[in-house]
């Protein structure tokens, strides 16, 4: 592989005009496609294999005009102080609003609060339920505008009016912190390279890669049902890995220049060596992201595949566009150790020959490996303790910022009707196999009423055929509580007995039940997913490092860092520690997708640092250095760059903490803290300590396995041999 990439790097350096033209054309093509594509809304949410989804599908068959997956809205009214919603003036304002809402062509039905018993006992609060014919993703902007205008008319009449439900989902905003993250990345790159031009290359190529990836996602969003979160996460991961991959190749190029090689040769060797590490690091990230498809949740699969595509683009750009840009730069990119004149180049170092920080740190670790190892493991173990209290759930309007109308509507409904009113359960009774459907409907309602944590059970509403009915159940507790989850399981347990007695089937659905089923599905998929991803990457790393213990250590170190990161997420988003600093207005269960998504992404990123740092150690060991000295050599060449890469990645991920969408905020924080733990504790402390303790055994590989594995030559040994032959007899090589 190193030889192929070496030739590719030299070709891109020589044919830089052609390479640059190809990438500009691809960016233009993707941009035109994105600009001309129809706008996409929120991703439709279906969870194959769950009871809640089965109930939705049944409702579509038995209640064809019901639009079970149609968007919903609750327009909540509160009377001014000293008044009631039953007062004549307030009643007239509400009825006028209901009439206005019914004029929208996409509205299937509007429930009048005074006819549907939707006024609180104290008469202060009322709500109108709006049902749409289409899903929230398909809802026209004109319908959302009409909803807002109707609410504003009621506000003008003196009422407090807020809107809840999925019909008014807001587009997430990342805020200025994303720009700050990129600015921090730029500063780190300038410090690392000592050159504004060299620092600009990783930023430029990362932006081009993300531009192509996100534009492609936007162009395909409507056709493939991709929501806004998909492109946000793709840009988050694409920016981070794009900067890192380019950083490693530019850094190796400068190191090759420092050894006296010509620029084209240096570009080829940089792509042949650091580029090989980029390819395998990118493969681990792609495996982790594409592996999310095993969970069988379409939305998660799309997010993973889209992000994996952006990572693949980042790898290709690093291997081709970076050497092309280096060709354009010429002598303006200085060898390692030199700075541009603008940044103080030409000055005499204060202490020439002094070992760099990476060398000093690695020397310290190999002298005291046991102490460093224990300190690192205990520290991560302490950070992981909150993960034992992990509670999973999916966000509802109660997790929105208090500044949003959805959250204020949620609070008003809780005030007027109880917290459980925000998460009603829909029980679907399929009595097609029952001899007495009506009796079955009645029995189901009575059985549910006898359960704890139930406030209201509405009478069964049958379909025209009379073989299926829906029953609405209002719990006492809020939708995201464990008490409500227990109630869902209790109803399903009762359904088993009723099925045996009457022959009818009981299904529980609704957004609350769907969230519970999603959490359970994700929990069940976590271990198989972890085994698949870690197993495939373990095999890949055996090929890269030609060792069994090094990949095993890499996997165990990853588990430590991801558990510590989950502990930090629980502490902030569930317990509320530092919630003010993170602008977390509402604590609650951690998003169900968070653990499995974090496992996938962090594993890929963790292997990035493992590959970049340890391949340098392996390279030194293969070329004859003793094991401990190879560890120090690896840090001397790689620690500065890996540190810069980690700081950049943390800065980019931290930029998404400013998002208004709780899912993006939580993932941004989780990935940032996970990179911190993995890069600075696991890879910079635990890894060299373990390698120092293992010595030569770290690079042990059974002979039969050594013969069976392909030689991918990540260390560039083939390139070194060719160079040595050329130095010995240049005429022979040219002949």
pLDDT tens figures, 479-515: 878 888 889 999 998 888 888 887 888 999 888 888 8
Strand 505-509 relative to strand 425-430: parallel, antiparallel, unpaired?
antiparallel
pLDDT tens figures, 114-169: 887 789 989 999 999 888 887 766 677 788 889 999 999 999 999 999 998 877 76
pLDDT confidence tier of residue 97, bands split at 50, 70 and 90 = very high
pLDDT tens figures, 102-128: 888 888 888 889 887 789 989 999 999
* CA-based nearest residue to 335, from 285, 270, 390, 290: 270
Read off the tokens for 578. 């530092």
The answer, yes or no, to whether residue 680 has pLDDT greater than 50, is yes
Read off the tokens for 641. 């760059």
**Residues 237, 240: Cα–Cα separation, whole Å:** 5
What is residue 660's predicted lDDT score, i.e. its pLDDT? 65
pLDDT, average across residues 57-86: 83
Name the H helices within 655-702.
662-676, 687-694
What is residue 161's predicted lDDT score, i.e. its pLDDT? 93
Phi-psi region of 692 (alpha: psi -120 to 50; beta: other; left: phi over 0): alpha
Question: Which is higher by pLDDT, 13 or 45?
Answer: 13
Inter-residue contact 130 to 149 (CB < 8 Å): no
Q: How far apart are the first and last CA of the chain?
A: 24
Dump the DSSP string for 565-606.
HHHHHIIIIIS-TTTTTTT-----PEETTHHHHHHHHHHHHH
The 3-state secondary structure of 598-643, one letter per residue: HHHHHHHHHHHHHHHHHHHHHHHHHCCCCHHHHHHHHHHHHHHHHH
**Residues 460, 468: Cα–Cα separation, whole Å:** 9
pLDDT, average across residues 513-526: 85
pLDDT, average across residues 608-637: 83
pLDDT tens figures, 360-404: 899 999 999 999 999 999 999 999 999 988 887 776 777 777 778
Helix (H, G, I), strand (E, B) or coil at 79: coil
Percent of the chain with pLDDT strictly greater than 90: 21
The answer, yes or no, to whether residue 526 has pLDDT greater than 80, is yes
Question: Which is higher by pLDDT, 9 or 584?
Answer: 9
What is residue 718's predicted lDDT score, i.e. its pLDDT? 65
The answer, yes or no, to whether residue 93 has pLDDT greater than 90, is yes
What is residue 144's predicted lDDT score, i.e. its pLDDT? 87
Helix (H, G, I), strand (E, B) or coil at 72: strand
The gap from C-alpha 543 to its chain's centroid, in whole angstroms, comes to 28
Positive or negative, the Cα torsion across 696, 697, 703, 706? negative
- pLDDT averaged over every residue in the chain: 83
* CA-based nearest residue to 201, from 252, 262, 155, 150: 252
Helix (H, G, I), strand (E, B) or coil at 489: helix
pLDDT, average across residues 253-261: 86
User: Could you count the other beta carbons within 10 Å of the beta carbon of residue 450?
Assistant: 9
pLDDT confidence tier of residue 520, bands split at 50, 70 and 90 = confident
What is residue 311's predicted lDDT score, i.e. its pLDDT? 92
CA distances from 622 to 74, 216, 380 (A): 68, 42, 32
**Residues 182, 654: Cα–Cα separation, whole Å:** 10
What is residue 173's predicted lDDT score, i.e. its pLDDT? 52
Dump the DSSP string for 389-447.
G--EE---GGGS-TTSHHHHHHHHHHHHH-GGGGS-EEEEEE-TT-S-HHHHHHHHHHH
């Amino acid at each position: 592989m190193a030889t192929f990439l070496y030739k590719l790097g030299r070709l891109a350096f020589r044919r830089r005009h052609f390479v640059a033209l190809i990438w500009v054309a691809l960016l233009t093509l993707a941009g035109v496609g994105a600009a001309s594509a129809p706008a996409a809304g929120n991703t439709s949410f279906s969870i194959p294999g769950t009871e809640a989804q089965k109930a939705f599908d049944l409702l579509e068959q038995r209640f064809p005009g019901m639009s079970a997956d149609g968007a919903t809205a609750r327009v909540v009214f509160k009377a001014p102080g000293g008044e009631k919603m039953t007062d004549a003036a307030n009643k007239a304002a509400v009825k006028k609003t209901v009439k206005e809402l019914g004029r929208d062509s996409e509205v299937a039905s509007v429930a009048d609060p005074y006819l549907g018993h939707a006024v609180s006992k104290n008469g202060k609060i009322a709500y109108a339920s709006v049902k749409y014919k289409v899903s929230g993703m398909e809802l026209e902007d004109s319908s959302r505008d009409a909803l807002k205008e109707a609410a504003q008319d009621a506000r003008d009449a003196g009422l407090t009016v807020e809107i809840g439900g999925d019909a008014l989902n807001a587009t997430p905003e990342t805020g200025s912190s994303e720009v700050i993250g990129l600015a921090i990345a730029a500063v780190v790159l300038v410090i690392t390279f000592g050159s504004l031009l060299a620092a600009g290359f990783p930023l430029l190529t990362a932006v081009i890669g993300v531009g192509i990836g996100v534009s492609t996602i936007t162009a395909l969003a409507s056709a493939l049902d991709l929501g806004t979160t998909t492109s946000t996460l793709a840009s988050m991961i694409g920016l981070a890995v794009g900067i890192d991959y380019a950083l490693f190749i530019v850094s190796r190029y400068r190191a090759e220049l420092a050894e006296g090689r010509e620029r084209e040769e240096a570009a080829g060797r940089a792509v042949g060596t650091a580029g090989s590490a980029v390819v395998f690091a990118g493969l681990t990230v792609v495996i982790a992201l594409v592996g999310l498809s095993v969970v069988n949740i379409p939305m998660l699969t799309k997010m993973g595949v889209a992000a994996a595509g952006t990572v693949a683009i980042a790898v290709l750009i690093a291997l081709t566009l970076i050497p092309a840009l280096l060709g354009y730069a010429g002598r303006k990119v200085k060898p390692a150790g030199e700075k541009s004149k603008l940044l103080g180049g030409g000055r005499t170092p204060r202490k020439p020959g002094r070992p760099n920080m990476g060398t000093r740190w690695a020397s310290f670790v190999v002298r005291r490996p046991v102490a460093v190892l224990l300190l690192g493991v205990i520290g991560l173990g302490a950070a992981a303790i909150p993960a034992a209290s992990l509670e999973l759930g999916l966000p509802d309007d109660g997790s929105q910022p208090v500044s949003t109308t959805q959250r204020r509507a949620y609070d008003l409904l809780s005030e007027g009707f109880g917290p459980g009113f925000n998460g009603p359960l829909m029980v679907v009774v399929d009595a097609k196999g029952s001899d007495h459907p009506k009796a079955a409907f009645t029995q189901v309602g009575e059985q549910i009423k006898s359960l704890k944590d139930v406030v209201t059970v509405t009478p069964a509403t049958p379909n025209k055929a009379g073989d299926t009915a829906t029953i609405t159940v209002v719990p006492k507790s809020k939708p995201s509580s464990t008490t409500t989850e227990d109630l869902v399981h209790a109803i399903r347990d009762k359904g088993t007995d009723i099925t045996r007695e009457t022959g009818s089937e009981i299904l529980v659905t609704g957004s609350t039940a769907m969230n519970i089923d999603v959490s359970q599905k994700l929990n069940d998929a976590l271990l198989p997913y972890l085994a698949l991803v870690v197993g495939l990457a373990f095999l890949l790393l055996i090929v890269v490092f030609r060792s069994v213990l090094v990949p095993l250590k890499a996997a165990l170190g990853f588990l430590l860092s991801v558990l510590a990161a989950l502990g930090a997420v629980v502490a902030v988003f569930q317990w509320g520690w530092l919630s003010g600093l993170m602008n977390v207005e509402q604590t609650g269960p951690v998003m169900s997708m968070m653990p499995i998504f974090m496992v996938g992404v962090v594993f890929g990123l963790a292997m990035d640092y493992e590959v970049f740092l340890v391949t340098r150690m392996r390279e030194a060991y293969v070329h004859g250095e003793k094991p401990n000295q190879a560890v120090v050599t690896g840090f001397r060449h790689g620690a500065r760059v890996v540190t810069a890469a980690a700081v950049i990645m943390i800065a980019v991920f931290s930029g998404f903490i400013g998002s208004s969408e709780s899912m993006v905020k939580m993932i941004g924080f989780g990935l940032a803290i996970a990179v911190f733990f993995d890069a600075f504790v696991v890879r910079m402390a635990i890894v060299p300590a373990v390698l120092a303790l293992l010595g030569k055994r770290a690079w042990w590989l059974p002979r039969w396995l050594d013969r069976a594995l392909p030689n991918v030559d990540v260390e560039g040994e083939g390139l070194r041999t060719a160079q040595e032959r050329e130095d010995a007899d240049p005429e022979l090589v040219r002949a």
